[in-house]
Amino acid sequence: MEPGPDGPAAPGPAAIREGWFRETCSLWPGQALSLQVEQLLHHQRSRYQDILVFRRPVTSLGPLPALHPVSLRWGPAFRAVLFGGEGAGVCADPTRSAPRVSPGHVRAGTPSPTPAPSQRACLPILATCHLQYSPLEPLGSKSYGNVLVLDGVIQCTERDEFSYQEMIANLPLCSHPNPRKVLIIGGGDGGVLREVVKHSSLESVVQCEIDEDVIQVSKKFLPGMAIGYSSSKLTLHVGDGFEFMKQNQDAFDVIITDSSDPMGPAESLFKESYYQLMKTALKEDGILCCQGECQWLHLDLIKEMRQFCKSLFPVVDYAYCTIPTYPSGQIGFMLCSKNPNTNFREPVQQLTQKQVEQMQLKYYNSAVHQAAFVLPEFARKALNDVS
């Protein structure tokens, strides 16, 4: 039985099946997420979307009272899930259908003829709601801490977020001789900002995040990442990064785009027109670094991006890092420079061990910087063939 608008929760919503919530997606073929639900606390269909509230089983992280049950602001477009549990891993549902939850766990699997490594995980659910731009899903996990999910895809976990955040920030910043003015597009969880403000040369940083809900949820559930929002060097612009860059040309030493994957609102951030816009917003010797997808899953897309980047910039390179909770365990970075003398593979700012410790880096150092550009042969050959 479906509840009416603002009506009472229907007993046992269709999304809950035998203790499991299930999400599937063709974007990561062969990979899946399972989430166990301990107790259904609330189910309501508001004027815009379906709301589910669940209680998570107690984990070794101890009580997290802020995660029991949570109310998030509604928007007209998407649903969000708030949950926690024993691990992490998720697939997006491109149809954005209602979440399928079984009592106790959310479970995802992608039936697909495309061969790919299969991954599974379990996390108990706390709540779901819809947000204006992306479904937000902060998770509390025994193994991975809190986990943020947008549009059904994991964006970060407290256990391993540092590898991605440190690399997407420090690869470009340490490749620029004097990065004083930085622009961040996206990155609402605050991780990139946290790393950027560690650099002593920084005078100012502007962050453009279109979805304020991501920022607020991250401040509440990912305080270790969102700490950078307290920096006096930050100017936060909640709005469209495209429009902001059109109004700010020849303005930044470094632009970092921390986007979600190329579907829905983020799809345009992987197009040539976006890179052209970043080029005009960069200073004469400016550098950009963008989330560059996974060489195991999206090599054709990476080749396409590299090709149009080479038509725009004199120096283009591709690097990657390992991160357990991203599809296939790694993620890449597309780096471009307007300065023809830039060599991304040899950082102009070599960090000493003392600097690494002072910056509290857990993944990045100068040796890792150099190693990040050493690709497996299949990827090296494919990308070197790009003219």
**Residues 278-299: pLDDT tens digits?**
999 999 999 999 999 999 989 9
Could you tell me which residues come within 8 angstroms of residue 144 by beta carbon, excluding any fewer than 6 positions away?
Answer: 87, 88, 157, 158, 159, 160, 325
How much is the average pLDDT of 155-164?
89
Which one is catalytic: 160, 258, 261, 317?
258
**Rounded to the nearest 10 degrees, what angle do helices 299-312 and 377-384 cross at?**
40
Give dist(CA 198, CA 359) in Å, integer: 6
User: Mean of the pLDDT values across residues 90-98?
Assistant: 36
Which is more confident, 302 or 33? 302
Query: What integer is the mean pLDDT of 116-143?
Result: 46
pLDDT for res 134: 56
The predicted pLDDT at position 308 comes to 94
pLDDT at position 195 over 50: yes
Percent of the chain with pLDDT over 70: 58
Could you tell me if 211 and 243 are in contact, meaning their C-beta atoms sit under 8 angstroms apart? no
Non-local CB neighbours of 21 within 8 Å, separated by 6+ positions: 15, 34, 35, 37, 81, 83, 99, 100, 101, 102, 105, 106, 107, 108, 125
Averaged pLDDT, 70-91: 36
324 pLDDT higher than 50: yes
Cα–chain center distance at 46: 28
State residue 2's pLDDT score. Answer: 33
Q: What is the pLDDT of residue 24?
A: 46
Residue type (1 letter), 286? G
Is there a catalytic annotation at residue 240?
A: no
Q: What is the pLDDT confidence band of residue 125, given thresholds at 50, 70 and 90? A: very low
Which of 50, 57, 66 shows the shortest CA–CA distance to 128?
50
Please state, rounded to an integer, the average pLDDT across all residues of the chain: 73
Token output for 335: 């780096």
Of the candidates 256, 263, 149, 270, the residue with the CA atom closest to the CA atom of residue 207: 256
Cα separation, 232 vs 41, whole angstroms? 40
Least Cα distance to 106 among 59, 141, 144, 61 occurs for 141
Q: How far apart are CA 327 and CA 32, in angstroms?
A: 10
**How far is the C-alpha of 356 from the C-alpha of 189, rounded, in Å?**
23
